[in-house]
Amino acid sequence: MTTATRGTAAPGAVGTGHTRIEGRDKVTGAARYAGEIPFGDLAHGWLVLSTVARGRVVAVETGPVLGMPGVLAVLHHGNAPRVETQYVGSLGPPDPVVGLFQHDRVPYAGWPVALVVAETSEQAREAAEALQVRYETEPHDVGFHPEHAAAYTPESVMGQPNEAVKGDLEAELAASAVVVDERYGTPEEHHNTMEPHAATARWDGGRLEVVDSNQGSRWVAEELAHLFSLDLASVRVRSEHVGGAFGCKGVRPHQVGAAMAATVLDRPVRVVLTRRQMFSVVGYRSPTTQRVRLGADPDGRLRALGHEAHGVTSKLFEFVEPSAGFGRSMYAADAHHSVTRLVPLDVPTPTWMRAPGEAPGSFALECALDELAEKCGVDPIALRERNEPAVGPVSGLPFGSRNLLACYREGARRFSWADRDPRPGTRRDGRWLVGTGMAASTFFVGAAPTTAAVTAEPDGTFTVRITAADVGTGARTALTQIAADALEVTPDRVRVRIADSDFGQAWLAGGSMGTRSWGWAVLLAARELRERLALGGAVPEEGLTARSDTSDVLAALAQKERHSYGAQFAEVAVDVTTGEVRVRRMLGIFAAGRIVNPLTARSQLVGGMTWGLSMALHEEAVRDAASGAHVGADLAGYHFAAHADVPRIEADWVEDTDDEDPVGIKGIGEIGIVGAAAAIANAVWHATGVRHRTLPIRPDRVLDAAGAPGTPGAGAAADGGPDRA
Amino acid sequence: MAPAPTATHSVVTLTVNGEKHTLPVDHRTTLLDVLRERLDLTGTKKGCDQGQCGACTVLVDGRRAVSCLQLAVAAEGREITTIEGVAEGDRLHPVQQAFLDLDGFQCGYCTPGQICSALAVLDEHAAGWPSAATDDVRPEAGVPPLTPEEIRERMSGNLCRCGAYVSIVRAVERAAAADRDASAADAPGGGDDIPADASKEAVA
Amino acid sequence: MREFGYLRAPDVSGALALHGADDGTRFLAGGTNLVDLMKAGVERPERLVDLAELPLDRIEETAGGGLRIGATVSNSDLAAHPEVRRRYPALTQAVLAGASGQLRNMATVGGNLLQRTRCAYFTDLARPCNKRTPGSGCAALRGEHRNHAILGASEHCVAVHPSDMGVALTAFDAVVAYETLDGPGEVPLADFYLPVGDTPHAETALPAGALITAVTLPPAPVAARSRYRKVRERASYAFAIGSLAAALDVRDGRVHDVRLAFGAVASRPWRARAAERALTGGPATAEAYAAAADAELAAAEPLPDNGYKVTLMRNLVVAVLTELAEEAGR
């Protein structure tokens, strides 16, 4: 099945499937996550969140609660240690939610207002629930719509321009024979890692020690050092096993609260978030509305690509879900305009969530392209091939390796795309209407400065130390393989230690840049060590260590459009009489650089595609207008795909090398979700003839789109017919 | 008339992985919290604490249950098996081995629950239980084979956010096939028709 | 969760005595709903009386071909029982469509009938809810109510009953047997749940302190050809947005006997008697099924965001009855 894979295999460990280094610990229950490491004299903290959406805390009635069994302290704005929030960290200023208990303002429902600490978690929970907090409330505004009076255009997104302009969009639209002008919507989505955030903090010989669940221990250590005005050397953060991250596991109220309480009580304190609390304090993906305007010649050649997105941020802090950026590197068009605008509301600040920007942005643009293909009478793949750019469409920069066309070809072959009848609403299998769809995907390739140390031990083994994080990506295993090859030894002689901020500066698990950034550093250190060992001599008792820092090599890298690419295919079945949509199969073919570990890489890509399925059909957080708070903030109210929703999904890759790239590793954490929801939505159209431009494609939406009740019996095909589109 | 007050704590004896533990518990304490906080058996995970994710799945008297909704005091007298009790010494259970070989997990947090649930799925299927994926539930129709569709439905109480479902289903398929082969050892060719492609790549 | 006492009942009379019709006491069976509600602070009992040791975990055949299902029979055992599968296949399907394998092992028949609504406002103490806090108001009415009631609701509460099992039991005329300190009693499931009216907090006709001991299914030959279809927002492990238990006996092209009950549309499993009346004796055609569904749904009062349920239930009736008729014809 994996013929396309073979080309990337190199001699040695890299390119060969390797089960996870920590796999045995994970299948036997031996792997300990942050909340599971025993501490003597441990106390338990339980957060109390505001129940009102705007106002201020008038009183925290601590008296009765302090008298409850086991209760040790109640921290709130009136007594909490001061923290410093006016700083700019390595990824920007902190989300104000980490400035725990620094004032009496309540900016949204779910804002932390107190931390109850007790001897046991049951006592802390009961006391937290009993704690009376009185509020003075003010009117709130949680209604998101693009015409909101407060909507504005941010200057930049993570240092990049937010708005991109090329040519005259309106003029090209006017000159276009075929125009698509549609609005798309995606809801508020939540990471919902299986492991809730957990941190244990304690002071140990003047150092703040935190055992945490995060995606970057060095990053979190830096943030805590800023917040508590400590030298970085006085903070140590470890995060050995992490039960999922997806963007939400940075510095969050749990670490700050645990550190505060450990300071006040002078004993170890653990704070674990509840599932419900996670909905308010760890960030989420902003809802979006997106207007896409495409203008094309009759053959589908794009003259105009306009993408105007709106998202939400809190009134406290600007976070941009850069949905409009997806097309900037994807399609050649004479004119291009893309911009993301924000509506500030009385809601928590959104944050990065798997493929921020690309996930919702690709849904809108890749659906719009499908609509354009329909209007032009051009096959969706042919349409994309026709608009394949030679250089960055907006930047004008040369591409690194861009093997998108190969993804289309391989995907089309394996999905039997050529046999597809383009007419919608014509295939029936019992009560199901069946259709197929496709979409393209891309994600940028980057690397950030990272340090690593590789030590030759006297016993002939090697130890790698790097503040990487394995949040389920397989990074620990991939780095072992990379180090083994660079050292020219078998992987069983290499021990990779990660997720300890004492190991030095390193990029975090994010932006699909982890393995590329860390692998690069490990490679450099391991190569240097091998060279030193080649000089001969015995390894001293303390070992022989080589260190690396990738800052210089990264700075010297030529400017290019570096991306990974993919082609996503889906087949769905829709019962328009009940509104049920089932995905029957998915195929993703990716061009994602050198694949270090085919076994775990496939898992990550399939995992991303599963997210895309889940985004297409299930995920949606709902806010109650009256209270401004979530409704059903739990896993019964917020659905993500369960086993029964997920068919056999295949992911594979094509040869994708870049001779000018010294490591050749791209990133695979995020690209799997990009375009997947669009492929499914396009397949739903192909099945039923109805375009669903708002996610998720829920049964009620399918039913409402199908209009009047289905005609009796089996003759309901017309309900989904193209005339209803 | 209100009854006389009753104690809010009890000393209970819990049998976990064949070992008896006698300890005082607050009646509020769930089996999940006793396992994790008191018996240092942290393999059982707390994903939602509301019966909505399956990460805390254990076997109670051989049947799978969510330990977050099981009060510890009410578990006295039951035989509890957690993920720590699944392997035989150093030898992984075939279900564990299949999860490992086929990469049936990523972050690993739902994994103990998935594995305990899979063990029960194999037993429930062997006992002839139908599922919501079973077309004809009448006893005359017999036991449906453990197709991927049957496995998916039966495993649906175990959420996985990394999206490892595809590999998990393959792992359960392989374990089920091994079970079948073991129970029909003399059947010719008793085929491992499953995921040759995936296992081939795994060189542990 | 506040502290509580815990007692194990040795038998039915012991359980009743331990409970003593005390307001602060709850029976504990599977606990899958009660413990969850205790964690949410919706239920704050002073003591629990555990029913695990009660001898109510058997399914017995009754004279004439019915079944008597003990109240502490687990959902799993109920669904797997050969006579349930043979005589009332829709009941097995309904049970298997609910929750997950883990929860079905824990949950019991009696507990299933007494489970509370999953309306998100009911379980959020910070929001008004007449069912939880009488007189506080109904947040769902003008809030999030996509999955709320279209039938039999009131301006005081629009929550739906979440049971799947109960829908099939209702279709098959189940009778709930209970014991009290004053002696036994029974009530048809059709009358078990009280009308919502202005007392949504008063949910069942059980006397205070009563213990459900069994659910009896009368013989129903029509049930041998029955089906449960559940529609939800995920393919499994989710509550229904609409479900249907149906049984059909067609003779010579005419409906000889039919049973229809709707789930997730009302504060209780909804027996569709108007539809049954419209069908009985008439032709077994898709047009007749649709007309019967319309007869039932004429009483529907959808809210702004749940009108789709009217369409859904109508389509389900047509689809499932058509399937059942086709199977009978094979």
* Chain C CB contacts of B25 below 8 Å: none
CA C299 to chain B, closest CA, distance in angstroms equals 31
Mutate to test the interface with B, among A14, A19, A28, A515 (most CBs of B within 10 A): A28
Looking at the predicted structure, is the pLDDT value of residue B157 above 80? yes
Which residue in chain B is spatially nearest to A640 when comparing CA positions? Answer: B161
**Residue A670 annotated to the active site:** yes
Domain-embedded: residue B141: yes
Residue C204, domain member (yes or no): no
The pLDDT confidence band at residue B170, using thresholds 50, 70 and 90, is very high
The model's pLDDT over B81-131, given as tens digits with 9 standing for 90+, comes to 999 999 999 999 999 999 999 999 999 999 999 999 999 999 999 999 999
State whether B52 and B78 are in the same domain: yes
Tell whether A29 is within 8 A of chain C (Cβ). Answer: no
pLDDT at C314 over 60: yes
Is residue B1 assigned to a domain? no
| Residue whose C-alpha is closest to residue A326's, from A590, A559, A674 | A674
CATH code for the domain of C266: 3.30.390.50
pLDDT tens per residue across span C172-204: 999 999 999 999 999 999 999 999 999 999 999
Mean pLDDT of B24-42: 97
C-alpha angle B99-B101-B104 in degrees, rounded to nearest 5 = 35
Q: Find the closest chain C residue to B127 by CA distance.
A: C80
**A636: chain B residues, CB-CB within 8 Å:** 50, 52
A62-95 confidence digits (pLDDT tens)? 999 999 999 999 999 999 999 999 999 999 999 9
Which whole number is the average pLDDT over B43-53? 98
Question: Do the Cβ atoms of B52 and A636 come within 8 Å?
Answer: yes
Is B27 touching A (CB cutoff 8 A)?
no
pLDDT band at B190 (very low <50, low <70, confident <90, very high): very low
Is the separation of the CB atoms in A48 and A113 below 8 Å? Answer: yes
Asked if the structure places residue C289 within a domain, the reply is yes
Residues B158 and B76 in one domain: no
State whether B174 and B114 are in the same domain. Answer: yes
B4 found inside a domain: no
The values of phi and psi at residue A45, to 5°, are: -105, 145
Q: Is the pLDDT of residue A386 over 70?
A: yes
Residue B3 located in a structural domain? no
- Examine the domain organization and report whether B114 and B25 are in the same domain: no
Does the structure show a pLDDT above 70 at A31? yes
pLDDT digit string, tens, across residues C74-85 = 999 999 999 999
pLDDT band at A304 (very low <50, low <70, confident <90, very high): very high
Q: What is the pLDDT of residue A658?
A: 82
pLDDT of amino acid B24: 97
Of A392, A375, A393, the closest CA to residue A383 belongs to A375
Q: Which of the residue ranges A119-128, A403-412, A706-715, C79-88 would you say has the lowest mean pLDDT?
A: A706-715
Distance from CA of A636 to the nearest CA of B (A): 6
What CATH number has the domain bearing residue B111? 1.10.150.120
Q: Does residue B110 sit in the same domain as residue B76?
A: no
Interface of A with C in 557-596 (CB under 8 A): 577-580, 582
Last residue of one domain, picked from the residues B85, B118, B150: B85
Peptide bond into A696 cis (omega under 30): yes
On whether residue C257 sits in a domain, the answer given is yes
Residue with tokens 């960290």: A89
Q: Is B50 on the interface with A (CB under 8 A)?
A: yes
Kindly state whether residues B68 and B103 are assigned to the same domain: no
What is the H or E stretch that residue A433 is in? strand A432-444
- Classify each residue of C262-292 as buried b or exposed e, where b means 16 or more C-beta atoms within 10 Å of its C-beta: bbbbbbbbbbbebbbebbeebebbbebbbbb
> Is C20 close to B26, i.e. CB distance below 8 A?
no
**How sure is the predictor about B180, in pLDDT bands with cuts at 50, 70 and 90?**
confident
Domains of chain A, first to last: 9-31+448-555 (3.30.365.10), 397-446+557-725 (3.30.365.10)
Kindly state whether residue B2 falls inside one of the protein's structural domains.
no
Same domain flag for B124 and B194: yes
Instruction: Name the residue range of residue B34's domain.
Output: 9-85
Which residue, of B65, B85, B105, is where some domain finishes? B85
Q: Which of B18, B53, B85 is the last residue of a domain?
A: B85
Residue C81 within any structural domain of the chain: no
Q: Does C20 map to a domain?
A: yes
The gap between the terminal CA atoms of chain B, to the nearest Å, is 66
- Helical residues (DSSP H) of A271-357, grouped into ranges: 275-281
Number of Cβ atoms within 10 Å of the Cβ of A463: 16
Two tokens at C318?
């047509």
Q: Which amino acid is at C112?
A: N
C252 contacts: CB under 8 Å, gap ≥ 6:
none
pTM above threshold 0.90: yes
pLDDT band at B185 (very low <50, low <70, confident <90, very high): low
Locate A698 and state its tokens: 């829920």
Does the pLDDT value for residue B189 go beyond 70? no
Same domain, B78 and B119: no
Same domain, residue pair B112 and B196: yes
User: Chain C closest CA to B150's CA: distance in Å?
Assistant: 12
Does C146 fall in a domain?
Answer: no
Q: What is the CATH number of the domain that holds C19?
A: 3.30.43.10
Q: What is the pLDDT of residue A706?
A: 84
- Test mutation, C296, C312, C323, C327, chain A, max A CBs within 10 A: C312
Note the pLDDT of residue B199: 36
Residue C34 lies in a domain: yes
Q: Give residue A662's pLDDT.
A: 79
Residues A224-267 have pLDDT tens digits of: 999 999 999 999 999 999 999 999 999 999 999 999 999 999 99
User: C-alpha angle A270/A275/A279, rounded to 5°?
Assistant: 110
Instruction: Decide which of A657 and A576 is more confident.
Output: A576
At A720 the pLDDT is 28
Cβ atoms of residues A452 and A517 within 8 Å: no
CATH number of the domain residue B50 falls in: 3.10.20.30
pLDDT in tens, C280-292: 999 999 999 999 9
- Dist. CA A177–CA A189, nearest whole Å: 37
Q: Averaged over C12-18, what is the pLDDT? A: 97
Q: Tell me what pLDDT residue A660 has.
A: 77
pLDDT category at B2 given cuts 50, 70, 90 is low
Residue B3, pLDDT score: 61
Residues of A (330-359) whose Cβ lies below 8 Å from B: none
> What are the b/e assignments for A3-16, b being 16+ CB within 10 Å?
ebbeebeeebbbbb
State the Cα–Cα distance between residues A284 and A623, nearest whole angstrom: 13
Q: Does B166 lie in the same domain as B99?
A: yes
pLDDT for residue A358 is more than 80: yes
Same domain, B102 and B162: yes
Looking at the 3D structure of chain B, how many domains does it have?
A: 2
Structural domains in chain C (count): 2
Query: Is C102 among the domain residues?
Result: no
Q: Do A129 and C41 touch (CB under 8 A)?
A: yes
Point out the residue among A19, A29, A33 whose CB comes nearest to the CB of B103. Answer: A19
| Cα A111 from Cα A253, distance rounded (Å) | 10
Burial of A147: CB neighbours in 10 Å, binned 0-12, 13-18, 19+:
exposed
Reported as a single tens digit per residue, the pLDDT across A457-499 is 999 999 999 999 999 999 999 999 999 999 999 999 999 999 9
In a shared domain, residues B124 and B76: no
Instruction: For residue C23, give its domain range.
Output: 5-50
Query: What tokens does A80 get?
Result: 């909490």
Question: Is A700 in the C-facing interface, judged by CB distances under 8 Å?
Answer: yes
pLDDT at A663: 86
Q: CA-nearest residue of chain A to B109?
A: A243
Say what percent of chain A tops pLDDT 70: 96
